Structure 1
Amino acid sequence: MEIQKQIRKLGDPVRAKQAQRFFKTGKGEYAEGDIFLGISVPEIRKLTKPFQDLSLTNLQKLTKSKYHEERLAGLILLVHKYESAPSESEKEQVFKTYVGLFPYINNWDLVDVSCHRVVGAHLENRSRKRLYAWAKSEDLWIRRISMVSTLWFIRKGDLEDAFSIARIHLNDEHDLMHKAVGWMLRECGKKDLKKLENFLDSWSSKMPRTSLRYSIEKMSERKRKFYLTKDKN
């Protein structure tokens, strides 16, 4: 496809090596085997603009690419496709396409750039049961999708699912889930600090340290110290 030709022209081997280290693509790491071309996110966003009319079939092909930046471009375009869809039936089709691409949404940046704007947006006025099922997945990236998708609800002032799904993830062993949980809790606190404090009063002593530190970043120094030492008092 033409978009792939243009993406590959921008490749930078030096930046590609840096990205592969940053995104942990080595043996046994969370993104083992992922291949980067070495292109920045702003460059990818700019490059996608003339291709916003690509068909869902072509977006599926793009998002299944072995190259990370091509998958990123596909997901950016899928978000646009969802947000610009003129009917609920077309939004449903894009949503189903996105869910079908879960095996290729396989790094934290790919999750974070897209899931709340497709999954979160689509489930705003629908049943959210599937988020709870995904929260128990063995797949790290599906678990992260379950958490980060709640960002859409949080920004609308709807916090309950974020807190509930965060509780499911408190025993998750992966650092990338600890960060995702802490991030969403911090976002909840921006909307309703008291609700975040109520959550932390019950759960801070059981939370991974990373989740706790992320969640309290915007609090006063006194409050941060209180929660960081709460389980020691």
Structure 2
Amino acid sequence: MDTVIIHIRQELESLADTQFQETSRRFFKESIVCYGIKTPVVTALAKKYWKEIKSREKQEIFSLCEELYRSGQLEESFIVSTWTYLLSGRYERKDIDIFRRWIDTYITNWASCDGFCNHALGDFIEIFPECIANLKQWTRSGNRWMRRAAAVSLIIPAKHGKFLHEALEIADLLLLDNEDMVQKGYGWLLKEASRHHQADVFEYVIRNRQVMPRTALRYAIELMPPELKNEAMKKELPGEK
């Protein structure tokens, strides 16, 4: 095993907090394995070791990331998210296949999914927007984390006003998904899109609110003024059939 991985795990074990470990587990429906370390501490650790590995070949760094993912430890997945984001200047179009495999194979909770997809994959999509076609394919996956990834990978671009049309397309593809983590994912995407495109998102919600799960709808309208929220939450608008 690479000495960097050994040193990282030794340091993580030295920072482990059993009390925070128990607190962390309350945020997840599924069972998770974690050291019990706050995210800013893990991010600082990732950046510290990044200085040691950044000069390595990208594929070697990817191999280190995969070794960290194999542990199943939540904090080690956060290190992968940080390192992959720091690699953004070296992304290639073909990397989408590696990222897809990582999500499908190793990601088993919302925190690992969002940590990786919001920043690393979000940056990747801005560099290679044609890969939104891949995200659309992921909406058909039997893996709920792949489906959530399809939405949350556009969170940061949507927050900055980008990819409205594509965000609405992905929401359409996930509209009737019965998994709450997926509903929250595309609802969150619509919420971020509403920062710059409130009217478009409101119109989308009104058009679909009869079938949109309430979980997704509530997320989508979270930033809207009370009068729009009230309209969106109505079961039926005047004159609507």
Instruction: Provide the TM-score with structure 2 as the length reference.
Output: 0.84
In structure 2, relative to structure 1, the CA distance for the partners of 1:59 and 1:16 (3 Å cut) is same
CA separation in 2, counterparts of 1:127 and 1:69?
Answer: 28
Quote the Cα distance in structure 1 between the aligned partners of 2:49 and 2:93: 21
Please name the residue that 1:97 is paired with.
Answer: 98
Q: Which residue identity is paired with 2:73?
A: Y
Q: 1:44 aligns with which of 22, 31, 42?
A: 42
Structure 1 stretch displaced more, 140-149 or 7-16:
7-16
**5+ unaligned residues in a row in structure 1: which ranges?**
25-30
Q: Does 1:20 align with 2:21?
A: no
User: Counterpart of 1:135?
Assistant: 139
SS at match of 2:108: coil
Instruction: State the distance in 1 between where 2:15 and 2:101 align.
Output: 29
Give the partner amino acid of 2:154.
T
The CA distance in 1 between the partners of 2:224 and 2:162, in whole Å, is 19
Conserved in 1, the CA contact under 8 Å of 2:117 and 2:152?
yes
Contact 1:147 1:180 in 2 (8 A): yes
Quote the residue 2:71 is aligned against.
Answer: 65
Please report how far the alpha carbon of residue 230 of structure 1 lies from its aligned counterpart in structure 2 after TM superposition.
4.1
Q: Identity of counterpart residues, as a percentage? A: 25
Select which of 193, 208, 228 maps to 1:203: 208
Q: Once the 2 structures are TM-superposed, how far is the Cα of residue 94 of structure 1 from its aligned partner? A: 4.8
Q: Which moved more, 1:215-224 or 1:46-55?
A: 46-55
Residue 151 of structure 2: which of 133, 147, 150 is its match? 147
Alpha-carbon distance in structure 2 between the residues aligned to 1:114 and 1:21: 21
Residues 1:3 and 2:8 aligned together: yes
Local SS of the residue matching 1:22? coil
Rounded Cα–Cα distance in structure 2 between residues aligned with 1:194 and 1:176 = 25
Partner Cα distance (2:78, 2:206) in 1: 38
Letter in 2 for 1:166: A
**Matched-pair contact (CA < 8 Å) for 2:161–2:195:** no
Distance 1:224 1:153 in 2: 24
Q: How many correspondences in the alignment?
A: 221
**CA shift for structure 1 position 165:** 0.8
Structure 1 127/216 Cα, relative in aligned 2: closer, same or farther at 3 Å? same
Paired position in structure 2 for 1:222: 227
Assess if the C-alpha contact under 8 Å between 2:161 and 2:197 holds in 1. Answer: no
Contact 1:63 1:75 in 2 (8 A): no
- Paired residue for 2:109? 107
1:80 Cα deviation (Å)?
1.3
Shift of 1:127: 4.0
1:123 aligns with 2:125: yes
Q: Does 1:162 align with 2:163?
A: no
Deviations 1:165-205 (A, max 9, x none): 11111211111112112111111110111111221221122
Stretch of structure 1 that moved more, 117-126 or 217-226: 117-126
Runs (5+) with no aligned partner, structure 2: 1-5, 54-60
Structure 1, 119-128 or 101-110: larger mean CA deviation: 119-128
Aligned-residue RMSD, C-alpha:
1.9
Q: Distance in 1 between matches of 2:210 and 2:136?
A: 23
